[in-house]
Amino acid sequence: MIHDGAGKQGVSAALQVWAVHGVPEVTPGMSVAELVAQYAGALHDGDVVVVTSKIVSKAEGRVVRADDREAAITSQTVREVARRDRVDGPPLRIVENPLGLVMAAAGVDSSNTSEGTVLLLPEDPDYSARQIREFLWEKRTVNVAVIVSDTVGRPWRSGQTDIAIGVAGMQPWRDYRGQVDQAGRALHVTMSVIVDELAAASDVVRGKNNGRPLAVVRGVSEDVLPPGDHGPGARSLVRLGEDDLFARGSKEAFDEGFAAGLRARERRAPQ
């Protein structure tokens, strides 16, 4: 168990996060696991390897022709959450994709891919992460966790950050429920999503246009599970159904509520 400077168990005192240099352009059929093994250097038990979804998608052949990017977005849309029509371009669509993620444009990416193509997200990022982890255990005998990261926006903040859309080898969260804070108060809802925090930290060192799609995090070995135990994956973080308190965009929810109110008033009006 790692101790921090105050002697508390289970929380590391410092992290090391670095980008992996020299990774070549990834094309369909290449093995991301072999690229990690070749370019990541000496990995230690308890390290976390962060891999961008972009190279996983390329390796898995998720590159599609897209003369009409909107059609590609539609193909990956399970549910439209919000939409804004624009006079100077295609509509802005926030949708739920087949992974259960609510994202702009369903996560369809047209950057750093050849002209006339777009990248779809990996079909099963948790499985992709497991494959990489198992390869490194079999070929390197090193027990690491693997995160597949992707860039998303946030509904109440400008800009984007990276989150984990695939995870193998670690619990996605640190669960503090049942513990007490420094004032002795019981914690009831605190669950720190460590995998999203590590994905965001990796983005700081990788950058967006530096050709560095891999990063390594050292210092959270207490969160890495034993070999063969991959954990519940990133899919366990998705809120759907009754847990989704914001299933509609604000304007859409307002319009829907306003229309429902009109219908209610009409029903109450004297005939």
Contacts of 196 (CB under 8 A, 6+ apart): 162, 163, 164, 237
Alpha-carbon distance of 158 to 59, in angstroms, equals 31
The secondary structure element, H or E, covering residue 266 is helix 250-268
Q: Judge whether residue 5 has pLDDT over 80.
A: no
For 49-105, how does the pLDDT look when each residue is reduced to its tens digit (9 = 90+)? 999 999 999 999 999 887 778 889 999 999 988 888 888 888 889 999 999 999 999
Question: Span 1-62+122-238: which CATH code?
Answer: 3.30.1330.100
For 161-220, how does the pLDDT look when each residue is reduced to its tens digit (9 = 90+)? 999 999 999 999 887 666 666 666 766 666 789 999 999 999 999 987 778 999 999 999
